[in-house]
Amino acid sequence: MEVRDQDVLFWELAHHLVAKNGFQAVHVTNDRKQLWLEKETDKEQFLISLSKIDMAWSRGLDQLMKDNARASQSFKKGSPRKNTVYHNVYITSMAPADDWKSKTSEIIYTDAARRKPMQTWLFAASIGAQHGDDIEKFLSLLNADEHWPSKEEMLQDDDDLRAQKTANQRQRIVRNIEQEHEEAVKVFTYGKSRFTYVLLALILMVFVWVETVADSTDVLALIEFGAKYNPFIDAGEWWRIFTSMFLHIGIFHLFMNSLALLFLGTAVERIFGTARFIWVYMVAGIVGSTASYAFTEQVSAGASGAIFGCFGALVFFGINHRRLFFRTIGRNVIVILLINVIFGTVVPMVDNGAHMGGLVGGFLAAATVGMPDKAYKLKQLVVIPAIAALVAILFAYGYYGEGNDPAEPIVEIQLAQELMEEEAYDEAYDTMASVIDGTDMPEAHFMIGNAAFGREDYEEAEGFYQEALAENPDFHEAAYNLALVYGEMGEDEQALEHAERALDLEPDNEEYEDLLEELQGA
């Protein structure tokens, strides 16, 4: 049995790095001519491309180097905080006859920013061939130069023993790659994503139900169907923290959350299994909704908190399977999570409290059940009281804190507006009366003035409109409504004065012009 010297050196070097120096074989091509190795230290990640090539001349070598530099990015999956050191190694039977060193000494960059250089090496295997680079110098850069065999030790006289040794080295490394792949597949296919589709169907059915009966963008309808509305939770309707997880505000909100749940939910359920996924989803949803109650006054609904809990579970998975996490989904998860956190921070209407609460809740919930392939430890149960304490603290903060007494009661204004559209003036008045004393917002005084006007309490409406104009002298709607109030009260001069004021503030408003003509004609 014969074996080429090139094969002997190729697999000897691979075996030396893997078996004796802690490198991990991560990929081998089908023809067994290229092998990718990596190793992480506390500060660095080494990534090595080991290739067998045959060329009498160096023409084409530069293109091979560039191709490898590009391919290296698909294997660079370690921690983004670590510096990656790239080495591109070629094993040849004979070194090219021309000046190949001028090419291998050229710096090839693996990234567009030209911050990640790849160093190229060429080692000639055959005895008597033109010498290649110094292999021991290369190994010393990797701190892997100990016990490197001499060429005589590698190329022993017995061809059969030499061939068998090389075959064993090759089989051991290839099998390690296959086993790692099998373990990764096992981790990512532990469970089947069944409950995710149940959730999606349930969320869709609830949305269709709300749309059939009312309008999912109507605040009154959302509150009626169980959205998170702090005043009602304060009054004892704590169940809204749970029911709000299944409501959505409009088709776009439904689509985006459903899409996120489809990808994240199925991934978490496959990794953790259905029972663990249900626990993670529900805990994250409840913690997220409670955080929304604590930090966000607006009416809110949606599965966002529970979906961010899936992010939290994937982060927990990354901590327990760090290398596999970064080699597969890790970078994408981190990038998407950061984008969502930044988006929630800079966009005012996004319920970032629910997002962050769900993220923390999902991580803690995953910590209580652990990874399926890890031995369960009873100390993980300690996390359950921690989750309960977190929910209690958030709820207490929302109930007793100042967050439930906002300076700008936008939710109440919107709710009062919808009530008045239904001619429920008393309810609209009561809604605004609960917050009017704590705000100087002109729109709030305008809205309660409208409610008082609808109740035909003109003197009270007059006072509220005057307050609105005092806070915002350019509030032409308040001036117009005040003219209407004075008209109802028989005070024509004041009615005419405020009608003129409204038209001065908003010229060419036909409604204001009609009222002014009517008052002037009177």
Express each pLDDT in 411-431 by its tens digit: 788 788 888 888 888 988 888
Question: Residue 131's pLDDT band (boundaries 50, 70, 90)?
Answer: low
> Highest-confidence range of 53-62, 335-344, 384-393, 418-427, by mean pLDDT?
384-393
**DSSP strand pairing (34-40 vs 83-92):** unpaired
Report the pLDDT averaged over residues 53-62.
87
Among 116-130, 135-149, 237-251, 274-288, which is the least confidently predicted range? 116-130
Return the pLDDT at 406. Answer: 52
- Residue 348 has a pLDDT of 60
Band of the pLDDT at 227, cuts 50, 70, 90? very high
Least confident of 71-80, 242-251, 455-464, 494-503: 71-80
Task: Supply the pLDDT for residue 1.
Answer: 43
* Range among 2-11, 55-64, 125-134, 395-404 with highest mean pLDDT value: 55-64
What's the pLDDT at 81?
62
> What are the backbone angles phi and psi of residue 463, rounded to the nearest 5°?
-60, -40
- Distances in whole angstroms, Cα of residue 446 to Cα of each of 300, 472, 476, 479, 492: 25, 11, 11, 10, 21
Q: Is the confidence at residue 325, as pLDDT, over 60?
A: yes
C-alpha span between 283 and 308 (Å, rounded): 11
- Contact criterion met (CB below 8 Å) for 309 and 280: yes
For 87, the token pair is: 């080495």
Q: What are 13-49's pLDDT values in tens digits?
A: 999 999 889 898 988 999 999 999 998 887 788 899 9
| Of residues 486, 522, 489, 491, the one with CA closest to residue 502 | 486
Q: Given this model, what pLDDT does residue 516 score?
A: 82
Highest mean pLDDT of the ranges 191-195, 324-328, 339-343: 191-195
DSSP letter for 93, please: S
φ, ψ dihedrals at 228, nearest 5°: -75, 115
Report the amino acid identity of residue 295.
F
Here the tokens at position 33 are 């001519």
**CB contact set of 17 (below 8 Å; sequence gap of 6+):** 23, 37, 39, 48, 142, 144
The two tokens of residue 476 are 């032409």
Q: What is the pLDDT of residue 97?
A: 84
Residue 282: predicted pLDDT: 97
Burial of 172 (0-12, 13-18, 19+ CB in 10 A): middle
Taking Cα atoms as reference points, which of 462, 452, 390 lies closest to residue 425? Answer: 452
**Confidence category of residue 273, pLDDT binned at 50, 70, 90:** very high
Q: How confident is the model at residue 128 (pLDDT cuts 50, 70, 90)?
A: very low
Interatomic CA distance for residues 175 and 151, integer angstroms: 26
Of the two residues 337 and 405, the one the predictor is more confident about is: 337
Q: Can you tell me the distance from the alpha carbon of 351 to that of 288, in angstroms, rounded to the nearest whole number? A: 10
Encoded tokens for 8: 């002997």
pLDDT in tens, 365-422: 999 999 998 887 777 888 999 999 999 999 999 888 755 555 567 778 878 888 888 8
What pLDDT, on the 0 to 100 scale, is given for residue 130?
Answer: 45
Domains of the chain (ranges, CATH numbers): 5-188 (no CATH), 195-404 (1.20.1540.10), 410-521 (1.25.40.10)
For residues 203-221, give the mean pLDDT: 91
Q: What is the pTM of this model?
A: 0.72
Rounded to whole angstroms, the Cα distance separating 298 from 410 reads 7
* Mean pLDDT for all residues in the chain: 86
